[in-house]
C-alpha cells in the first residue's frame, strides 16, 4: 500500500535501482571486450544465481515452490525460456552496438511494446496522451538508430534489429507475468530467472569448449555488473514498488539512458553522436509521457477499491 508519507523512500529506491541497472550496460560491455560470450555468461550468472539463491534461502521463499499448483508449474520454465531468449538478445545488442548509451536509448522501445501488447492481448485501452508518447518514442528510436547513410541497406546502425527483438521478447515476458503470475514472491521470480540463465550458461560453456581462465579485469567487471544488475537493481526495484506506483517508478527508470551515457563517458571516454543524444532524449520524453498517462488510471482504480472497501464496511455495520 502506498502513502504520501513513504513515497520519498520509494523514489530513492527507484533512483538507486536505475543507477544500479545502468551499470549493467557499462560493466557487461567492458567484460565482453576481454572474454567470449560463453565465458561472460557463465561467470555473470554464476554470481547472479548465487546471490539470488542466498536471498531466497535467507527469506525462506524456496518452500513456495512446493505449494505451486500443478496447473501453474509450466509458468516458471516457460518464463525461464523466454528470459534466455530476451537476455541473449540484450547482451548481443550491447556487444554489437559500439556505445552502450545508444543501446540503452533504443531500449526505450520496451515500454512502448508493453503498452501495445496490453491493448492487443489484454484488451487494455490507451489514451490520446499515451498515443503521443508512443509516437515520440518511435521518432526518438528512429533518430537514434540512424547510421548516417542514405542507403537503405545501411540506414540503421548494426544491432538495431537485435534491440527490437529484445524489446518484443521482454514485453511478451512482462505480459505473461502480468496474466499468469500473481502470487509468486518477487524473490522467487528473480531466482527462477537466474536459475534458468545459469543452467543455460553451463550448457553453453560446455558446448563452446571455451576455457574458464579469464583475465582478472574481465572477472572484476563481470562481478560488479552481476551484483549491480541481476541482484541489487532488481531487489531495489521490487522494494520501490512497496512505496510508489509502478507508473511513477517508470518515469524515473526512463532516465536510465542518461545515467548510462554519463557512466560510458567516465569509463570509456565516449559519447554518442549529437543526433543520437537528441533521439535518446526524445525516447526518454516519450516513455515519461506514457508513464504519466497511466497515472490517472491508477488513481481511478485506487478510488474504486476504496469505494468498494467502504461499501463492504457499510454492509458489515448494517
The string of pLDDT tens digits covering residues 157-178 is 899 999 999 999 988 887 887 7
pLDDT band of residue 314 (cuts 50, 70, 90) is: very low
Tell me the three state secondary structure of residue 156.
strand
Arithmetic mean of pLDDT over the chain: 83
Residue 316's pLDDT is what?
33
Burial grade of 79 (CB within 10 A; 0-12, 13-18, 19 or more): buried
Residue 318 domain-assigned? Answer: no
Percent of the chain whose predicted confidence (pLDDT) is above 90: 44
The string of pLDDT tens digits covering residues 47-61 is 999 998 998 888 777
Residue 4's pLDDT is what?
56
Q: Give the CA count within 13 Å in the CB-facing half-sphere of 181.
A: 21
Residue 313's pLDDT is what?
37
Residue 182 domain-assigned? Answer: yes
Query: What residue numbers bound the domain in which 243 lies?
Result: 7-310
Element (H, E) at 232: none
pLDDT band of residue 297 (cuts 50, 70, 90) is: low
The string of pLDDT tens digits covering residues 239-272 is 787 787 766 777 788 889 999 999 999 999 999 9
Residue 317's pLDDT is what?
35
Whole-angstrom Cα distance, residue 237 to residue 229? Answer: 11
Residue 315 domain-assigned? Answer: no
Residue 1 domain-assigned? Answer: no
Could you give the number of structural domains in the chain? 1
Percent of the chain whose predicted confidence (pLDDT) is above 70: 88
Q: Kindly report which listed range (142-146, 276-280, 282-286, 303-307) carries the lowest average pLDDT score.
A: 303-307
Helix (H), strand (E), coil (C) string for the chain: CCCCCCHHHHHHHHHHHHHHHHHHHHHHHHHHCCCCHHHHHHHHHHHHHHHHHHHHHHCCCHHHHHHCCHHHCCHHHHHHHHHHHHHHHHHHHHHHCCCHHHHHHHCCHHHHHHHHHHHHHCCCCCCHHHHHHHHHHHHHHHHHCECCCCCHHHCECCCHHHHHHHHHHHHHHHHHHHHHCCCCCHHHHHHHHHHHHHHHHHHHHHHHCCCCCCCHHHHHHHHHHHHHHHHHHHHHHHHHCCCCCHHHHHHHHCCHHHHHHHHHHHHHCCCCCHHHHHHHHHHHHHHHHHHHHHHHHHHHHHHHHHHHHHHHHHHHHC
pLDDT band of residue 237 (cuts 50, 70, 90) is: confident
**Residue 195 in grid coordinates:** 536459475
- The answer to whether 16 and 231 have CB atoms below 8 angstroms apart is no
Residue 161 domain-assigned? Answer: yes
Residue 196's pLDDT is what?
95
Residue 154 domain-assigned? Answer: yes
Residue 293 domain-assigned? Answer: yes
Cβ count near 60 (within 10 Å): 10
The string of pLDDT tens digits covering residues 83-121 is 999 999 999 999 999 999 999 999 888 888 888 887 777
Whole-angstrom Cα distance, residue 267 to residue 258? Answer: 14
Residue 250 domain-assigned? Answer: yes
**Residue 66 in grid coordinates:** 512446493
The string of pLDDT tens digits covering residues 112-137 is 888 888 777 777 677 888 889 889 99
Amino acid at each position: 500500500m502506498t502513502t504520501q508519507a513513504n513515497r520519498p523512500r520509494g523514489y530513492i529506491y527507484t533512483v538507486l535501482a536505475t543507477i544500479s541497472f545502468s551499470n549493467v550496460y557499462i560493466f557487461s560491455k567492458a567484460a565482453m571486450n576481454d572474454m567470449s560470450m560463453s565465458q561472460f555468461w557463465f561467470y555473470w550468472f554464476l554470481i547472479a544465481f548465487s546471490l539470488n539463491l542466498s536471498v531466497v534461502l535467507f527469506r525462506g521463499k524456496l518452500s513456495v515452490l512446493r505449494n505451486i499448483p500443478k496447473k501453474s508449474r509450466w509458468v516458471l520454465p516457460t518464463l525461464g525460456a523466454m528470459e534466455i531468449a530476451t537476455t541473449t538478445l540484450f547482451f548481443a545488442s550491447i556487444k554489437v552496438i559500439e556505445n552502450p548509451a545508444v543501446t540503452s536509448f533504443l531500449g526505450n522501445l520496451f515500454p512502448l511494446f508493453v503498452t501495445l501488447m496490453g491493448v492487443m492481448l489484454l484488451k487494455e485501452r490507451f489514451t490520446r496522451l499515451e498515443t503521443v508518447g508512443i509516437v515520440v518514442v518511435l521518432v526518438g528510436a528512429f533518430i537514434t538508430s540512424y547510421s548516417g547513410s542514405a542507403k537503405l541497406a545501411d540506414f540503421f546502425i548494426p544491432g538495431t534489429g537485435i534491440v527490437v527483438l529484445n524489446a518484443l521478447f521482454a514485453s511478451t515476458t512482462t505480459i505473461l507475468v502480468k496474466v499468469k503470475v500473481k502470487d509468486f514472491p518477487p524473490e522467487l521470480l528473480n531466482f527462477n530467472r537466474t536459475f534458468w540463465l545459469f543452467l543455460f550458461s553451463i550448457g553453453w560453456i560446455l558446448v563452446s569448449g571455451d576455457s574458464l581462465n579469464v583475465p582478472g579485469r574481465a572477472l572484476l567487471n563481470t562481478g560488479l555488473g552481476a551484483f549491480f544488475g541481476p541482484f541489487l537493481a532488481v531487489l531495489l526495484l521490487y522494494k520501490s514498488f512497496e512505496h510508489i506506483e509502478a507508473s511513477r517508478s517508470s518515469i524515473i527508470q526512463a532516465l536510465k539512458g542518461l545515467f548510462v551515457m554519463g557512466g560510458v563517458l567516465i569509463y570509456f571516454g565516449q559519447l554518442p553522436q549529437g543526433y543520437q543524444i537528441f533521439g535518446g532524449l526524445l525516447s526518454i520524453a516519450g516513455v515519461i509521457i506514457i508513464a504519466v498517462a497511466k497515472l490517472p488510471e491508477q488513481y481511478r482504480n485506487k478510488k474504486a477499491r476504496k469505494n468498494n472497501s467502504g461499501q463492504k464496511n457499510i454492509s458489515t455495520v448494517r
